[in-house]
Amino acid sequence: MRAISGLGKAGLGFAALLLAASPAAAQMQSDGYKFLKAVKDRDGTVATELLNQPGSTIVNARDIATGQSALHYAVQRRDLAWIRFLLQKGANPNIADKSGVAPLQIATQLGFIEGLEALVDGGATVDIADSTGETPLIGAIHRRDTAMVKLLLENGANADRTDNSGRSARDYAMLMGPSSTMMQTIEGAEKDRGEKAPVYGPS
């Protein structure tokens, strides 16, 4: 009886494993999985065939483990041709992965200006924030990437939007010094837009 009971438990355990694995197994058979694999492999023929199926929405398919989309993959490898292709096919540039990271934030982290321009042209939200509240502009300030900061501001990024700690891109730039390159870039962009910078301290 003990042997039978042991086998029963083992059988139940095996069944549980199968059930747990079923979502991943199901995705591996889906068109979405095939599409994401095609994008990873840079297989334009397979990707196009899948996208051209009537009523297809797989351009925004997401990896079941990471939540990343095809656009995430293309930005990560700095692949401008694939970014433009996916956007033309209706890819949503504002889809975030399971960490709350959108393609625009990846482009900022990489200093990938051409990718950022393509994403913004494709409808990316410039002030999109990740799970920590960090916007692309805050990320660019942390990297001291003057060109990226300037480009984001030119496209309407808000220097006063705060992250989860309560600090904004302007605050982080001020920590580098009121005459730092980052502060000068923010103030220069605001001057070009006809905006008046906030005054710090007593007036």
Q: What is the CATH number of the domain that holds 134?
A: 1.25.40.20
Query: ∠ at Cα 190 (187, 193), nearest 5°?
Result: 155
pLDDT at 26 over 60: no
pLDDT in tens, 67-125: 999 999 999 999 999 999 999 999 999 999 999 999 999 999 999 999 999 999 999 99
Q: Judge whether 160 lies within some domain.
A: yes
Q: Judge whether 18 lies within some domain.
A: no
Q: Over the chain, what HEC string results? A: CHHHHHHHHHHHHHHHHHHHHHHHHHHHHCHHHHHHHHHHCCCHHHHHHHHCCCCCCHHHCECCCCCCEHHHHHHHCCCHHHHHHHHHCCCCCCCCCCCCCCHHHHHHHHCCHHHHHHHHHCCCCCCCCCCCCCCHHHHHHHHCCHHHHHHHHHCCCCCCCECCCCCEHHHHHHHCCCCCHHHHHHHHHHHHCCCCCCCCCCC
Q: Judge whether 121 lies within some domain.
A: no
Range(s) of the domain holding residue 174: 126-194
Task: Name the pLDDT band for 41 (thresholds 50, 70, 90).
Answer: very high
Last residue of a domain, one of 85, 101, 117: 101
Q: Judge whether 63 lies within some domain.
A: yes
Last residue of a domain, one of 101, 118, 148: 101
For residues 150-174, average pLDDT: 96
127 vs 13, more confident: 127
Task: Name the pLDDT band for 194 (thresholds 50, 70, 90).
Answer: confident
Task: Name the pLDDT band for 203 (thresholds 50, 70, 90).
Answer: very low
pLDDT value at position 196?
Answer: 57
Question: Does 143 lie in the same domain as 89?
Answer: no
Residues in the chain: 203
Q: Judge whether 16 lies within some domain.
A: no
pLDDT value at position 191?
Answer: 87
CA distance 27 to 10: 26
In 3D space, the residue among 132, 81, 78 whose CA is nearest the CA of residue 103 turns out to be 78
Task: Name the pLDDT band for 4 (thresholds 50, 70, 90).
Answer: very low
Question: Does 89 lie in the same domain as 38?
Answer: yes
Residues with Cβ within 8 Å of 4's Cβ and at least 6 positions away in sequence, in order, are: none
Tell me how crowded residue 40 is: count the other CB atoms within 10 A of its CB. Answer: 14
Q: Judge whether 35 lies within some domain.
A: yes
Tokens representing 146 are 């003057």
Overall number of domains in the chain: 2
pLDDT at 189 over 60: yes
Last residue of a domain, one of 84, 101, 118: 101
Question: Does 143 lie in the same domain as 80?
Answer: no
Task: Name the pLDDT band for 6 (thresholds 50, 70, 90).
Answer: very low
For residues 160-183, average pLDDT: 95
pLDDT value at position 14?
Answer: 43
Highest mean pLDDT among 11-25, 138-152, 179-193: 138-152
CA distance 113 to 175: 25
pLDDT value at position 2?
Answer: 47
Chain-centre distance for alpha carbon 198? 30
Question: Does 145 lie in the same domain as 181?
Answer: yes
Question: Does 93 lie in the same domain as 33?
Answer: yes
